[in-house]
Each structure stands twice: as structure tokens, then as C-alpha cells.
Amino acid sequence: MKVSLTAALILLAASTVAADSYEEHDYTLNCSGCHRMNGAGSSVVPSFDGMRDLAGKPGSREYWIRVPGAAQAPLTDERLAALMNWLLKRFTDEAPEPPYTASEVARLRREPLRDPVGERRRILTAPRR
């Protein structure tokens, strides 16, 4: 009886860990200080609501990873890819298709944007795909 209770508790703990994802924790610790928990930002940080305007525009996929706050976050390529897949789903209602992978993120984040505001403007004025 005692053994099976222990086994049940271990199984329960294991399933809780497996069901838990890192994305929200990673967002809270690395992004929410500037972007706020609801993505509203501040006077100097744009609201994530504006990401909808960029969705589907050529260059937005690359821009979202190369933006300095994302590119330079202290997260592995795997965790940043997962975070950005989660972030886009949450703030544009559409997960990136295909989803970001660690190797794509690794390549893009090597070159953080020097002029993210200018790059954003350039993408916005380009025609929709």
C-alpha cells in the first residue's frame, strides 16, 4: 500500500512537470520587465498589439527574432524558438507557420538589428504577401 502510494505520487509529480512549459516563465523573467505581462509596453516600448500589423509582411519573421530584446535574451536557441512561437500565437492569434526552430533562431539572432525602429518601418510600408 505504502509503495503504491509513493509510486502514484511520483507519477503525479512527473506528469505535472511534463505538462508545464517554459514559455510563460521565460516571458515573465526576460521580457515582461519592459513589455509588461499583458504586452502593453510603455512610453518607450511598443505594445505587442502592433505585431498584428506586421504579420504576413515580408521580413517580419526575421525581424521578430533579430529585434534586440529577443535576439540577446539569455535563452538557448530552443527556448527562444519556443518562446517566440508562443508569443506570436498569443499576440497575433496565429502561430508562425512553419514554427520557428532552434537552427533558424540561431542563424537570425547572430545579427541583432542595429536599427529595429527603422527596420519595423520598412516592413510596414512593404506590400502584404
Catalog residues that contact ligand HEC under the rule CB under 6 A.
Answer: 30-31, 33-35, 44-46, 50-51, 54, 64, 67-70, 73, 83, 87, 116-117, 120
Nearer CB in complex with ligand HEC: 99/116: 116
Of 40, 66, 77, which Cα lies nearest the Cα of 118?
66
> In whole angstroms, what is the distance from residue 58 CA to residue 11 CA?
46
Question: What are the phi and psi torsion angles at 116 (to 5°)?
Answer: -60, -35
Closest distance to ligand HEC from the beta carbon of 16 (Å): 25
Q: Which residue is nearest to ligand HEC (CB)?
A: 69
Closest distance to ligand HEC from the beta carbon of 80 (Å): 7
Closest distance to ligand HEC from the beta carbon of 106 (Å): 15
Query: CA distances (Å), 60 to each of 10, 41, 53, 115, in order?
Result: 44, 19, 10, 14
Nearer CB in complex with ligand HEC: 15/28: 28
Closest distance to ligand HEC from the beta carbon of 20 (Å): 19
Q: Record the cell numbers describing residue 71, joined without a space.
A: 535576439
Contact 77, 109 (CB under 8 A): yes
